Structure formats: C-alpha cells, structure tokens
Structure 1
C-alpha cells in the first residue's frame, strides 16, 4: 500500500491515518468539517488535499448512518482500488450498499475493536489499535486484492485480524460493546440526582462500572440506531435477570424462612453465573484469564511515585501483570493494586517493604 484516503477524521479515522503515515503511506484526509481534517493533518496524519489519482485504499470512518452513502459516493467517483469502512456495525451497511446498486467486489466491511471515551482527532493516537482485534467481514464477492489491502491496513496498524460474518459480528458487539455501554449509562444515571453524601462514597467498583458512561451520547446514538435489534435482544435477557434479582432481594426481606431461602438461591445463582461469564473474558495476550494475586500499596499523589514503584518491582524481578489505582477521598494519596503471579506475591511484598512502601495484603 502506497497511498490511502481517509474519509472522516474523528478518533478512529485519524488514528488509522497516523498509523499509516508513520509507516510511509501517503495519506489524504477529508471530512465534512474541513477544520477537523486540517487538525488531523497538523497532527501528522497526512494531507488535507484530495488525491489527484485513485489511491490504493479508501477508509471510510464516518458514523454508521452516513457510512453507506459515503462509500457509494467514493465508489462512484472511482477514488480507490479498494474500499472499506470502520464502523461498529456491518450487516446493515452492506445491505444499504446493495440497495444503492454498488459493486461490492471492491468493498470490505471492517471494525477495529478499539476506542476511547474521548472523540475527535485530538484524541487520536497512532497506537490506538495495537494488539486489538480488527474484524474483517469478507464475502464470496469480495475481491482478493481488497482483502489483501485490508489485511495490510490491519498489519500496519499492528492490530489482530479476525474474520467474521457481518451479522454474527453485529450480534457479538451487541453483547460485548453496545449493551455494556447502555448498562453503564443506566447505572451512572442513578448518580445524577443522588445525595452528595452517597456520591462521596464512590469507590473503584462504581468507577469501573461507569467508566464508559462518559462517552459521547451523539456517537452512541448513531451506533445504537444502526444495531437496535441485537442490542434489544441482549437487554431483554438482562431485564429477565433484573426482574428475577429484584424478586430475590424482596424475598430476602420476608419473615418467611422459605422465601428467604429462595431469595438467597436466586442471588447466588446470578452471582455464580456472573463468575462463570467473567471467567471467559480473554486475559493477557488473548489467553484464558490468569488467576493473579493482588498486592495493595499506599502511594502518594506526587510526580514520580508510579515510576518509582514500578522500578522497585522491576528490581525485585517481578512482572506487574495489571494495575489499578483507587484514589483516597480528600487526601493526597491513593491505593495502587498490583496484580502479579501468585508465586511472586511474598517476594514483591518483602522487597517493597524494604524500600519503604506501605504494603497491604
């Protein structure tokens, strides 16, 4: 791939352009907002001038509601040898292109499974896709050259290609991406009118659950409007669990011993099914989740503290597998949770204590 055209310079489009440009591809940028394309160009993502001849690959990175129209316009203009989109839904866009009478041999629907709560070119990074799955949905009509160009794009962005059927993809993201966004928003919405005393008690659990609730509502309206059926199906199943859980909790309030026993069994069931589902979420390098031990350390909120604790762990010969930070309310300190292999816990705890850290196991 020598040349590319990125249509839409938001987070995903600009990040892909930055990755391509950093690896020697001549990238042209266009956007319905010229100022946004100029911003992306100023960041080093390419040039905001249109190509004078067809490029190797056109990457359409616009909201799902506009993707088919943008693709059709690019195809009719003969702007590239191959065309793909990077929207989060796939089946509907392909059907729209069929309705518009487009030649689908030069098109491939894709979806990089990466993103951030922030949007726009200023949130973009060249390494956004590194190590992340990038779904490709070829059909028997897809030209081999276009598939190869898509695979090259994925490789240049250092992502991991995953081949799927378009509709199977839409059902999958409804479960692992779109429904979690709505559930996170629903939980966060409970905080809007909550008493300030309750909000001050927010800990890591509520922060984890509501993190993605900070996402741009306009972006998610576009995504959910393009995949409503599969998301509604998953939410209906969640609603069934919610109803059963509410009944179980009400039963625990009862004076009747049998009802309380039923309530306990109902809560136990949903918690254990949650354990089983969480255990299937891929862990490090896509492998099965490892059973790491957690070492908790009090850490000051000063520059260099994180670097110091990681360096001390390195000197102890221990690899930090994962990390979380919980900030202390009203204090210039917090708790850092270091996830390590179980066999390394004792030696790391001893090493950190020797270096003056307040370790809590």
Structure 2
C-alpha cells in the first residue's frame, strides 16, 4: 500500500491518517468541512491536495448514516481501487450500500474499537489503534484484494483484525460500547444539579463511571440512531434488573427481618453477577483476565513525581501492569494505585519504603 484517501477528518479518520503517514504512506485528506481537513493536514496527517490517480485504499470516516452516500460518490469518481469505512455500526450502512447499487466487491465494512471522549482532528493520535481490535465485516461479494487491503490497513495502524458478521458486530457493540455510553451519561446527569458539597466528595469510582459522559452528544446521536433497536433491547433488560434492585433496596428499609433478608439477598446476587461479568473482560494484550494486587502510594502533585515512582519500581524489577490516580479534592496530593503481580507486591513495598515513599495499606 502506497496511497490512501481519508474522507472525513474527525478523531478516527485523522488518527488513521497520522498512523499511515508515520509509516510512509501518502495520505490524501478531504472533509465536508474544509477547515477540518486543513487542521488535520497541519498536524501532519496528510495533504488536502486531490490525488491524480486512484489511490490504493479509501477510508470512509463519516457517521453511519452517511457511509452509503459518501461511498457511492467516491466510487462514482473513481477515488480508489478498494474501499472501507470505520463507522461504529455495520448493518445499516451495509443495507444502504446495497440499496444505492455500490460496488460491493471492492468495499468492506470496518470498525476500529478505539476512541476518546474528545472528538475532532485536534483530539487525534497516531497510536489510537495500537493493540485494539479492528472489526472487519466482509460479505460473500468481497474480493481478496479488498480484504487484503483492509488487513494491511489494520496492521499499519497497529491494531488486531477481528472478522465478524455485521449483525453480530452491532449486537456486540450495543452491549460493550453503546449501552455503557448511555449509562455513563445517565449517572453523570444526576450530578448536573446536585449540591456542590456532594459533587466535591466525588472520588475515583464516580470518575471511572462518568469518564465517557464527556463525549460529543451529536456524534453519539448519529451512532445510537443507527443501532437504536439493539441498544433498546439491552436497556430493557437493564431496566428489569434495575426494577428488581430498587424493590430490594426498599425491602431493606422495612422493619420486617425476613423482608430485609430477601432484599439483601437480591442486592448481593446482582453484585455477584457483576463480579462474574467483569471477570470475563479480557486482560492485557487480550489475554485471559489476571487478578493483580494494588500497591497504593501517596505522591505530591508536582512535576517528575510520577516518573520517579515508576523508575523506583523498575529498579526493583517490578512491572506496572496498570495504574490509576485518585486526586484529593482541594489538596496537592494524589494516591497512585499501582497494579502489579501478586508475587511482586512485597518486593515493591519494601523497595519503595526503603526509598522514603509513603506506601499506604
């Protein structure tokens, strides 16, 4: 692959362009908003000049509802030899592509499972897709050249290809992406008019749950409208669980001991189900989930402290598997939670203690 056209220079399109230009690919950028394309070009994502001949691959990086129309237009003008898209919903675009009479031999649906709560070209990163799944949804019409071009794109972006049926993909992302976005927004919406004192008590738990609630509403409206039925099905199941949970909590308020015990059992059951579901989420590098231990260290909020802590862990021969920082409200101190292998906990605690770090139990 030598040349690529990216049509749509938002977060995903520009991130793919940055990854490709970093690999020496010539990338041609276009967008319905010329300013967005120029911004992406200024970041080093490619050029806004038009290609003089068909490129090897065109990436259609537009909302799901526009994929068919944009693909038809690109094919009509002979933009590329092969085409793919990066829309987060696959069944609807595929139906429209067929309805519009597009060339389906040289088109393959795609969806990189990566993103950020920010949007637009300025939020783009060349490493956005590294180690992330990139779903491809070929059909019996898809020719080998097009599949190979899409696989090369995935490899150049550092992602991992996953081949799926379009409908199965939409059900999967409704569960692991679209529904969590709505739930995060619903929890965050409780904070909109909450008392300031309550909001100031927010810790890492509510930060984790509401992080993606900062996402662009317009972008998510495009996504959800293309997968509304499947997401609604999952929300109905959640609503049933929520109703049971509310009833159990009300039961725990009563004076009847048997009723309270029944309510407690229902709450424990839903939390245990959550334990089991969370344990199924793949661990690092897609491996089976691993149970790490937490070593909590208090650090000052000043430059260099975090890097110094990591260097101390490296000197002790301990690999940091994951990290989270819980910031203290109104104080210039934070609690760094280092996730490490259980066998490394004692070694790390002793090494940090010897170097004067404030290791918390």
The answer to whether the superposition gives a TM-score over 0.5 is yes
Correspondence for 1:82? 82
- Offset at 1:244? 0.4
Matched, 1:149 2:136: no
Matched, 1:19 2:19: yes
- Offset at 1:152? 0.3
Correspondence for 1:346? 346
Distance in 2, matches of 1:125 and 1:79, equals 25
Mapping 1:258-337, distance limit 5 Å: 258-337=258-337
- Offset at 1:75? 1.2
Secondary structure of 1:46's match?
coil
Mapping 1:104-183, distance limit 5 Å: 104-183=104-183
Task: Report runs of 4+ in structure 1 exceeding 2 Å deviation.
Answer: none
Correspondence for 2:359? 359
Secondary structure of 1:281's match?
coil
- Offset at 1:235? 0.7
- Offset at 1:53? 1.0
Matched, 1:99 2:99: yes
Q: Could you tell me the TM-score, scaled by structure 2's length?
A: 0.99
The C-alpha deviation readout for 1:295-350, integer Å capped at 9, x for no partner, is 11101000000000000011111111110000011111010001111111111111
Q: Could you tell me the TM-score, scaled by structure 1's length?
A: 0.99
Distance in 2, matches of 1:215 and 1:160, equals 25
- Offset at 1:289? 1.2
- Offset at 1:251? 0.4
Correspondence for 2:225? 225
Secondary structure of 2:117's match?
coil
The C-alpha deviation readout for 1:25-83, integer Å capped at 9, x for no partner, is 11100000111111111111111011111111010001112111101111111111011
Secondary structure of 2:118's match?
coil
Correspondence for 1:198? 198
- Offset at 1:101? 1.4
Distance in 2, matches of 1:46 and 1:245, equals 52
Aligned pair count reads 361
Matched, 1:252 2:252: yes
Q: Which runs of 5+ in 1 are unaligned?
A: none
The C-alpha deviation readout for 1:340-361, integer Å capped at 9, x for no partner, is 1111111111110111110012
Secondary structure of 2:270's match?
helix
CA RMSD of aligned residues (A): 0.7
The C-alpha deviation readout for 1:180-222, integer Å capped at 9, x for no partner, is 0000000000000111111111001000000000001010000
Secondary structure of 1:295's match?
strand
- Offset at 1:256? 1.1
- Offset at 1:159? 0.3
- Offset at 1:255? 0.9
Secondary structure of 1:192's match?
coil
Q: Which runs of 5+ in 2 are unaligned?
A: none
The C-alpha deviation readout for 1:106-137, integer Å capped at 9, x for no partner, is 11000000001111111111111000000000
